[in-house]
Chains A and B, each alone.
Chain A
Amino acid sequence: MNTARLIEALSADVGPVRRAPLAKILSWVMVLGAVIAVCVMLATVGPRPGLAEAPVHFLALKLFFTMSLAIIGAVVLFSAMHPGRDLRRWSPYLLLPIVLVGAGGAVALALTPLAAWGTMMLGTHWAMCVVCIPLFATLPFALLIWALRKGAPTELWRTGAIAGLVSGSLGAAAYSLHCPDDSLPFVAIWYAGSILLCALIGKSLGPRLLRW
């Protein structure tokens, strides 16, 4: 095919083009993803018994950790939908919540006698945490991929990894309503670990799912 003919064809197809409402799409997908993750949690493991009486500060901490990761990640994803914007500009901020919780976990361990470290780190349901977070993240991940494809991502594995991380964070936020383990080292290891696992899965799926 002759390029000049293609250009003729393309330039006859013009009318005013409005900018794709990518911010709106992404925000709605984030809200919907969070709601769906909570619904899946309610439909499977259910909320922690006595959620209302549980220590508020631990629940707040878990939600703050997971939601801050999700929101910073969404900002990076917004850049990823626009060709030519540097993803690395906002990505380093993702380390902030992880480093804070990691440092908090280390301090909590330092203040605790060695004998109690095992229960602090493993909690009672670490395996549940590793299974549930990726499970709750699955549907939000699919939604995010759908939204990203409305844009024009050009760095596919990076975008996939961040999409995995964001959906993992939403999954972890939903899981925190079930999670009976109230300890900082537990959150630092198992929450962060499960979220990173989701990011790795997203990284490997990204190039295939996001290609255009």
Chain B
Amino acid sequence: MDLLRLPLAGSLLTRRHARTLLQLPLFVVSAAMIIHGLFGPQLAPRNLATTLSWVHFRGALVLVLLLAGNFFCLACPFMLVRNLARKFFHPVRNWPRRLRNKWLSVGLFVVMLFLYEWLDLWASPWWTAWLIVAYFAGALLIDSVFKHATFCKFVCPIGQFNFVAATVSPFEVAVRDHDVCDRCATKDCIRGVREPAAPLVSIQRGCELALFQPRKTGNVDCTFCLDCVQACPHDNVGIISRVPAMELVSDPMRSGIGYFSRRRDLAVLAVVFGFGALLNAFGMVSPVYALEQWLAKLFHVNTEFPVLASVFAFFLVLEPLLLIGVASWLTRVWGGSKRPWLSLAVRYSYSLVPIGFGIWLAHYSFHFLTGLYTFIPVTQSALTDFGWAILGQPRWGLPGLAPNVVQLFEFGFITLGLLGSLLVSYSIAVTEELVHPVRAFIPWATLALLIAGAAFWLLSQPMDMRAVVLGSG
């Protein structure tokens, strides 16, 4: 199926200014969130910034990634401002070569997860508003200085989350007919289209993320911006259905990315994505507070920063190192693989993406579905705060779906993620290990089962949201 060939969606998405049309409403909503976050009520359930960011945006994001693809990046409001700025600034610098990888963005992704817990972003409209401002400022600043889509490809933590999650999406931006590309002489999808009479004037961008369509594989680094769709003179690029997660199995030379098996930075991003999902869910249940109190006593501290830092160091560094190290070692020793253990760790780490996505999906859809209608009274209240009470008085107490019903969805998502991880690790083992593929598969299957077991346990715990357990600092 090709979404661009569908009657309604196709005609909308192939319009020249489709992206701007999708970005504008999100920009208006973002501006309202910033204003309400900074100047509105500071109780999180009463504020647009916290309600829309941590309930609706995250939930809608993962559900759209599950059902379609990376459509948030397509409608990203940060890029609207950046594109406007590019009408005045024409960057000439290239992003430093040393930073052309995912290490910086992996670090920023971890910082984001840390700030979420440390600053209790979920409970703070003020900090949430500043976070949105920081994203706008970051995109504007970086892409005003550096060429191409530097912010999206190398910096944006949300973008990296979307790139990894979109590997399990059922659609990708892809070439319709490779024979057409073979005959194409202009390669406009990557070069862009220039004014014939004035070759220095660009009338349509090519891919700013260096993804050359004929050699592009999968969704990593693809923002669904559809520049390639607009640029292709042969109407040969679509949004095409595919088998989810299979791009994690194959290891071809990918345009703009290289080989997955040689990208340690990408593998670490996949690992942080997987274990970060557990850690983020761990932050909303009771046992985390008992652990924090215990660590505070152990370290003789009463501030949260060192305690939280050690929790993060354990769950995002030590635990993955240990578990992936053991799985790689077993694959080598017991599975008979000839590859070095680090190479095995990199290759198989991608198999953690589906279970990680299943946990993110379970966690975010819980908030989204149980708080589904909360945007209505919060919007009514915000409009009243802005002096424009056109929607009437807020109807507080509008319920979403019942938590016990949503829990069934949560368990379903984790199970789906587990099956995906088992399928990917088995397929990698069959592809890579000729002698004992099943033996090579078992350590990684065990790891996926352990993660899924931890997720089932976490999501069975009573939810417990506390803004302050220890002192700040």
Q: Say whether A associates with B.
A: no
Q: B residues within 8 Å of A by Cβ?
A: none
Q: A residues within 8 Å of B by Cβ?
A: none
